[in-house]
Amino acid sequence: MSRSVIEPFALPWLLDPPEDLRSQLKVLRKDAESDAGDLRRLAGYALDLNQLGQMGKAVAARRDDLAASGLRPLRLAIAATHTADFLVEALPATALRHGLLIDSYQADYGQTAQAVLDPSSALFAFKPDLVALAFDPLALGLASPRLDEGGGEEAVQSALDYVTSLRDAVHANAGVGVVLQTLPMPQTALFGSFDAGQPGSVRWMVSRFNARLAAEALGPGDLLLDLAALAETVGLAQWHDAARWHDAKVPYALDAVPLAADHLCRLLAAARGLSRKCLVLDLDNTLWGGVIGDDGVDGIALGQGSGTGEAFTAIQSLARDLRTRGIILAVCSKNEESNALIPFREHDEMVLKEEDIAVFVANWTDKASNLQHIAKVLNIGVDALVFLDDNPAERERVRQELPQVAVPEVGADPAQYPLILSAAGYFEAVSFGDEDRKRADMYAANAARSSAMQKIGNMDDYLRSLDMVCSLRPFDALGRARTAQLVNKSNQFNLTTRRYTEAEVEAFEADPAKFTLQVRLEDRFGDNGMISVVIFDCGEEEWVCDTWLMSCRVLGRRVEEAVLAVVADAARKAGAQRLVGEWLPTPKNGLVEKHFEKLGFTFAGDLADGGTRWVLDLANYQAPDLPMVIERADELAGADA
């Protein structure tokens, strides 16, 4: 399901869970024979607090199976000055999403200091790997203004002293690190804007505390959860819920818990080296607007001057910024490589340059195979990849074939891509050093490019899973404008590149010597609209292909085979013996050089200007079984239909 508004609490980069989640979880919890690995898969959905709790029970029941499945175990003790129970409840399920298996212990409410200061406490008996210390402004003496001279500074110092003394106690008593957190800004003002500069106002103290906490309070092995930044990103009005604070001392809205748990888990995963390392980018409609192969370097939307162009610039800028902090960039695009490189070389407003891309893969192979190739070339796991693609069908295909790859659900608006990518936090880090600064260059030096790829994965199963319906009908008034548009715009999958005006297209509709098709394709992601146009000249013996074009969006869906089946059927009924096809080369249609050969035509000679001629003997042609429903207009229905 797509969301039109980005709801930060709803984990918008993840898909909504299946309807029957609760019953699936029940099976996984109670049936020891069921595949516990499914829990990891289900944790990858946008689960709400209730669902996280339900999954947590299944995780507990299947703990041993999960421990054997390669998750990294982590024992986390939590000492909070408020109600952290909801967070604790959400952790085991959220942890799976990040490759962790968390066992947690929570100190009794109100016993934070005792639990940490007493070496023989139950908290230390739990033998934690990390201890999270969660405070709130009230517990730290920062919830009320201190307007006496020097009072604000003193309150902040005393809060920091308290936090660091507990930190030191954890270090001393267990020899492990702590997770500290910044304080989300309270919503109520005292003076108003004046608070910002007035020492001792709550806003002043909380800002100062947060800044000093980040700068001074972390020792080796300690981690900082910047809850204040998270609350700001969400919006304080949504983050805080006074009713929950009053009735149960829950420090933020209950709806914030899944997001807060995700941020904590991504931080813990980062500390265990489990963050993603490489951002793999699609090109057309992801790095620029439009299709380079069709629109050309002057026709794509990118850069200053239009909102759409600037949105793509922002995506590229984020990718470049990630590169400067050591994230590897790669490209995985269905394109002719020569076309795909043109913007990098010729478009003035490209933020990303060719040398920024460590592995550049542009071909027509399925993307799951290409992603495996990219991981192999970079010598990293596919679980280190994040794949950004505007096309929901490509995203779904990759999720099915390579569930280890993170594939953010980015929606349809490129302006939102940077926000969603950032919100997903795939590249969370707990340090930054020289090695990170140099990493991207190091990989760029080894830049590899691949064009030929082995096909893997079961393509047919995938295609069937798309629930495609392909409908074919002759040209008509309803489709005329779109037909003419495709005839005049398509460059790549276009055998003859003959252009016709709308009036000419209209004339074909009534011409008995022309066999015409307009083809539409629907799948479970939606209606692709008209995606192919075909014209044959109908002779007595042979039908000759005048025009055959298709949108590259539906490449690899076997639509061309469906088209051929319908043409062949009609030609047979009309008494023809053969179909004849020609490929007329242009600078852009190298993609279809072998189109007729792939469809079973035999080579019948060279044409002037490098073209080729192909023939299909209808007596030998048999229509294949195709992974889609084919709907043809009545006048096209053959005897076998």
Partner 1 sequence: MTRSDIASKVVEIMEDVFDEDDIAYDDAMTAADIEEWDSLSNIRFVVAIEKEFDIRFSNSEIADLENVGQMVDLIASKQG
Query: Measured from the CB atom, is 48 or 294 closer to partner 1?
Result: 48
Identity of the residue, 17 or 479, whose beta carbon is nearer to partner 1 in the bound complex: 17
Nearest distance, CB of residue 22 and partner 1, angstroms = 7
Nearest to 241 by CA among 418, 352, 86: 86
As measured in angstroms, the least distance from the Cβ of 240 to partner 1 is: 14
Give 258 or 343: the residue with its C-beta nearer to partner 1: 258
Pairing of strands 72-80, 130-134: parallel
- Decide if 362 contacts 337 (C-beta within 8 A): yes
Nearer CB in complex with partner 1: 92/199: 92
Residue 244 CB, nearest distance to partner 1 (Å)? 7
CB-based contacts of 184-193 (< 8 A; 24+ apart in sequence): 184/227, 184/228, 184/230, 184/231, 184/232, 184/236, 184/239, 184/240, 184/251, 184/252, 185/228, 185/231, 185/232, 185/236, 186/137, 186/143, 186/240, 187/236, 187/237, 187/240, 190/145
Judged by beta carbon, residue 257 or residue 424, the one nearer partner 1 is 257
Contact, 287 vs 332, CB < 8 A? no
Least separation in angstroms between CB 60 and partner 1: 13
Biggest alpha carbon–alpha carbon distance for the chain: 102
Least separation, in Å, of the C-beta of 136 and partner 1? 17
Using the minimum distance from each CB to partner 1, give the nearer residue, 255 or 522: 255
Alpha carbon 470 to chain centroid, angstroms: 27
Cβ atoms of residues 615 and 601 within 8 Å:
yes
Least distance (Å) between residue 253 CB and partner 1: 8
Residue 57 vs 498, nearer CB to partner 1: 57
- Which residues have a Cβ under 8 Å from the Cβ of 26 and sit 6 or more positions away? 58
- Region of residue 127 (phi > 0: left; psi between -120 and 50: alpha; otherwise: beta): left
> Residue 85 or residue 593: which is nearer to partner 1 going by CB?
85
Summarize as ranges the residues that interact with partner 1 (CB under 8 A).
22, 49-50, 53-54, 57, 83, 85-86, 89, 243-244, 246-248, 250, 254-255
- Contact predicate 585/593, CB 8 Å: yes
541 exposure class (CB count in 10 Å sphere: 0-12, 13-18, 19+): exposed
Min dist CB 259 to partner 1, Å, is 15
CB of 137 to partner 1, least distance (A): 20
